[in-house]
Amino acid sequence: MSYSRYGYGSHSFIYDYIRQNRCKKIMEIGIADGENARKMVTAANENFLTEEIEYYGFDIFRWYNWDSDSQIQLVSQKLSVAGCQFKLFKGDSVKTLPKILHKLPMMDLIFIDGGHSYSTVKSDWENSKTLMHEKTAVFFHNYDFSGPNRLVNNISRDKYCVEIIDVPHDSRTAFVKQKT
Ligand SMILES: C[S@@+](CC[C@H](N)C(=O)[O-])C[C@H]1O[C@@H](n2cnc3c(N)ncnc32)[C@H](O)[C@@H]1O
C-alpha cells in the first residue's frame, strides 16, 4: 500500500506547543495516516505517562484506495506505539462529533483538518468550541483555503485571540484561543 503525504505539511509548531503548554487531551478532526497523531502524542509523552494522554480522532477513513479497517488499524498501531489512551470515530465529523460531544472531555488542543468546505469547518468549530477550557488551543489547518479562511475571519475577535501561523513547509494555519 503506497501513498504520499505530499501537501499535508509539517506541523512542528503544534508539537512545540504541546510540549511547552503541557497538553495531554488532544482532538484531531482529519487523521489521514495518523502521522500527525503519532507526533502530537509523542510530544505529549515528553511530559506525561501513556495512561495520562488522551487522543480523540475523527475521520471518514476513506483515505486513497485503502479500506477503512486497514486505515484504522494503521492509525491504532501508531498511537499504541506512541503511547496514549485513544478513541477513533469513523464517519463525517458533521454527524459523528455532535453525537459523541457529551461524552468527550474538555480538550487542551484541537486540530481541525478534516473536510475543508465552509459548512464542515463551521460545524467542526461550533462543536469544538464546546470542548474549550480557558487555555485550549484550536488550530485550523489550511487557512488559505476558502472554507477555513471564511470561518476563521468570522470568529469574534472580542471573544477569541486569532493568530495566523505562516511557516515554511506548511500551509498557513490559524491559531485560536479564548481571550482571558
Ligand atoms: C488533510 S488530511 C488530514 C491530515 C492530518 N491531519 C495530518 O496533519 O497529517 C484530511 C483528512 O480528513 C478526512 N476527512 C475529510 N472530510 C471529512 C469529514 N467530513 N469528516 C471526517 N473526516 C474527514 C479525510 O479522510 C482525510 O483523512
**What cell was used for 144?**
488559505
pLDDT value for 2: 46
The pLDDT tens digits of the residues spanning 125-171 come to 999 999 999 999 999 999 999 999 999 999 999 999 999 999 998 99
- Return the residue whose CA atom lies nearest to atom 8 of ligand 1: 36
State if residue 31 touches ligand 1 by the CB under 6 angstroms criterion: yes
User: For the chain, how far is it from start to end, CA to CA, in angstroms?
Assistant: 47
The pLDDT tens digits of the residues spanning 8-42 come to 778 999 999 999 999 999 999 999 999 999 999 99
pLDDT band at 99 (very low <50, low <70, confident <90, very high): very high
State if residue 60 touches ligand 1 by the CB under 6 angstroms criterion: yes
The CATH architecture one would assign to domain 12-178 is 3-Layer(aba) Sandwich (3.40)
For the chain, give the mean pLDDT: 95
pLDDT value for 67: 87
State if residue 92 touches ligand 1 by the CB under 6 angstroms criterion: yes
Nearest CA to 79 among 97, 54, 58? 54
State if residue 8 touches ligand 1 by the CB under 6 angstroms criterion: yes
